Structure 1
């Protein structure tokens, strides 16, 4: 069973997209850029187009909102032929997020987000309320960020604003063209988690382009592995592709560590978590010593239950307050992080332990090496008994 099947299903607000023999030919070129692509993108799912650079995946995606007009074939959106819809109207009903956010540099964050709602005639009060709602949705404080300009934001913040802008008019479809490709790996993982959290709430139809197969496995309800001219080599659930690649080319994308990539199919929130001793930052050192009596260290939490730092029991012995006690930083993971990301974090921690946080950054438990070993053992047992194998994933 894939993660997309075990997560709580959101109320679907997306619509079905059908590509039927969609082809794009450019004058003067013998071969088509996209050759007769046919696929159905179910409503409310994330479908990832993955393939090598130049294979035509971005061209394929842009033909959905007619930024590139198909030479032949049809794109049907919610039962309507996209060619029969006014192009501007079509695009205003489809969110679009690209690499490096594509924000207008001369506009504030608020005005960037308000672009499409303004074009379709929303009044100022509604736009202002929606702008703040979108900023909160992507984890940015409206009071801090609405008046800033793109140059005053980090790369990750710009991408969050780009997603907020794409969602501002509540479109049923979101097209994302390598939106996280220009940020560092840590920020990229956080943005991926944020997208999954948003999708769990919103249920949009998302078409996501990437050349990173790991990203495709993490995000996709389904993955379309594309070859030259966007020819579909395999279109299936991530677990099915990892377990049974259609050919050597697909197997090359999956990689020799395909078994390890199975860890990408499970979120931390799906496995049992461990516990540790915790104490509030405003607690007395005496209370902390009592709590730490049966533990080697304690986790200090702020008033909102968010982890601040570790303090070893030995360092509490002679401290007059928690503030004075020597402490160590906390390695945290989102509940939406995958077990593969957890493994990478654990290998970098001297205690092979990471703190798991919820949607508001609050402490929810610990993930350890034993957590991963237990999960892999359960998978081996299930596969050995013929139950729950990747090949059994229903369409």
Structure 2
């Protein structure tokens, strides 16, 4: 179970779907047929399945954006059908693809919308907005008074998550929230969600059609078939190792072995120290950092110790400053999976992945050798378990 970083346990609540069905008017068969699921408090549960299988409808019935035709939905100890729909929706965070921000409102107004509807004190709303923007990595002084059109797609998604968390709901529903951004930004947003979840411990129901995303984010995965039939509901480890049937095996795909890397985080392996300098340091400082080491490149940090670029040793020979020879750097976080780290290593010509830890500060690098060692250990542990079974 995901718990908050201070050890206080989950702040989320249990959700139970008890024989829930949905039949749309005029339809001869249900869109969702007799679904029962128990979603533990404080966990990320991912609904994954093909387009049109009913996974979004199933999720939307939790906050009654889609009214169930039959069955019962319990949120904590409360029957969701006994709560007024507007009250229910204000008590549940909701994040969708392309953020769904109101274009005529500033970022501050978007994030503070639900607390305003709940009639929070104006000062309390302002403080909460600042807190959440900082939490999702957007400096309030820089972004709060901008409009959505002035932000990138990834930044808009961060605002969307902040808005969903604004009233501190115990439950967060996320409907393919990262599906409309590029792969690198998507991976970064996934890492950010995992970091937030480690701090906040919400109960999160996440819809995706990407099994790799499900493996990365989910404490549990519900693989859904037609009409949201639950084909398998278990941890990513169990589903990868033992698909329930051929349909689930098809979702897992031929890359199951590689996806084992998606079960381990960068924080689970030892990082290697690597020379680093700050962007305003002199070229001579960079040369000195590399002197006497086996390395031929240096990580460049900003004023807050966040990795922003890298510089080759040979480029320092005739450089006047670091900015003029700095190269683009893709950074992974300690929350990234080893699969993410492998992709970053293969993309970088220095054959390493630079890692950012808490506060996005530089933590070290992970190498291909480290990943090989980690995979070898996972395989050895798996064989050991098989022999002892």
Specify whether residues 246 and 303 from structure 1 end up closer, same or farther in structure 2 by C-alpha distance, changes over 3 A only.
same
Specify whether residues 298 and 103 from structure 1 end up closer, same or farther in structure 2 by C-alpha distance, changes over 3 A only.
closer
CA distance in 1, matches of 2:67, 2:285: 68
CA distance in 1, matches of 2:200, 2:263: 21
Give the corresponding residue for 1:306: 306
Specify whether residues 240 and 8 from structure 1 end up closer, same or farther in structure 2 by C-alpha distance, changes over 3 A only.
farther
Instruction: State the shift of 1:322 in Å.
Output: 4.4
Give the corresponding residue for 2:59: 61
Instruction: State the shift of 1:280 in Å.
Output: 3.7
Specify whether residues 326 and 177 from structure 1 end up closer, same or farther in structure 2 by C-alpha distance, changes over 3 A only.
closer
Contact between 1:10 and 1:202, CA under 8 Å: does it hold in 2? Answer: no
Instruction: State the shift of 1:158 in Å.
Output: 1.1
Q: State which of 182, 186, 189 in structure 1 corresponds to 2:187.
A: 189
CA distance in 1, matches of 2:136, 2:300: 27
CA distance in 2, matches of 1:365, 1:30: 58
Contact between 2:283 and 2:322, CA under 8 Å: does it hold in 1? Answer: no
CA distance in 1, matches of 2:289, 2:178: 42
Give the corresponding residue for 2:380: 381
Instruction: State the shift of 1:388 in Å.
Output: 11
Instruction: State the shift of 1:104 in Å.
Output: 1.2
Superposition pairs for residues 161-310 of structure 1, below 5 Å? 161-295=159-293, 296-310=296-310
CA distance in 1, matches of 2:207, 2:165: 17
Give the corresponding residue for 2:345: 346
Note the alpha carbon deviations across 1:40-70, whole angstroms, 9 max, x for none: 0000001000100110011111111111111
How many residue pairs match? The answer is 387
**Which stretch of the first structure deviates more once superposed, 310-319 or 206-215?**
310-319
Instruction: State the shift of 1:286 in Å.
Output: 4.3
Superposition pairs for residues 83-102 of structure 1, below 5 Å? 83-102=81-100
CA distance in 1, matches of 2:202, 2:59: 16
CA distance in 2, matches of 1:278, 1:187: 24
Specify whether residues 376 and 16 from structure 1 end up closer, same or farther in structure 2 by C-alpha distance, changes over 3 A only.
same
Task: Provide the secondary structure at the position in 1 that maps to 2:199.
Answer: helix
Task: Provide the secondary structure at the position in 2 that maps to 1:58.
Answer: helix
* TM-score (structure 1 length as normaliser): 0.92
Specify whether residues 307 and 22 from structure 1 end up closer, same or farther in structure 2 by C-alpha distance, changes over 3 A only.
same
Task: Provide the secondary structure at the position in 1 that maps to 2:167.
Answer: coil
Note the alpha carbon deviations across 1:121-166, whole angstroms, 9 max, x for none: 1111111111111111111111121111112111111111111111
CA distance in 2, matches of 1:107, 1:280: 37
Contact between 2:309 and 2:328, CA under 8 Å: does it hold in 1? Answer: yes
Unpaired segments ≥5 residues, structure 1: none
Instruction: State the shift of 1:81 in Å.
Output: 1.1
Specify whether residues 367 and 85 from structure 1 end up closer, same or farther in structure 2 by C-alpha distance, changes over 3 A only.
same
* TM-score (structure 2 length as normaliser): 0.93
CA distance in 2, matches of 1:352, 1:55: 41
Superposition pairs for residues 76-155 of structure 1, below 5 Å? 76-155=74-153
Contact between 1:299 and 1:307, CA under 8 Å: does it hold in 2? Answer: yes
CA distance in 2, matches of 1:177, 1:124: 30
Specify whether residues 155 and 280 from structure 1 end up closer, same or farther in structure 2 by C-alpha distance, changes over 3 A only.
closer
Instruction: State the shift of 1:293 in Å.
Output: 2.1
Specify whether residues 73 and 266 from structure 1 end up closer, same or farther in structure 2 by C-alpha distance, changes over 3 A only.
same
Task: Provide the secondary structure at the position in 1 that maps to 2:257.
Answer: helix
CA distance in 2, matches of 1:160, 1:282: 29
Instruction: State the shift of 1:232 in Å.
Output: 0.1
Contact between 2:2 and 2:201, CA under 8 Å: does it hold in 1? Answer: no
CA distance in 1, matches of 2:350, 2:387: 32
Contact between 1:76 and 1:82, CA under 8 Å: does it hold in 2? Answer: yes
Task: Provide the secondary structure at the position in 2 that maps to 1:385.
Answer: helix
Instruction: State the shift of 1:228 in Å.
Output: 0.4
Give the corresponding residue for 1:331: 330
**Which stretch of the first structure deviates more once superposed, 75-84 or 330-339?**
330-339
CA distance in 1, matches of 2:387, 2:222: 22
Specify whether residues 388 and 282 from structure 1 end up closer, same or farther in structure 2 by C-alpha distance, changes over 3 A only.
farther
Task: Provide the secondary structure at the position in 2 that maps to 1:35.
Answer: strand
CA distance in 1, matches of 2:6, 2:260: 20
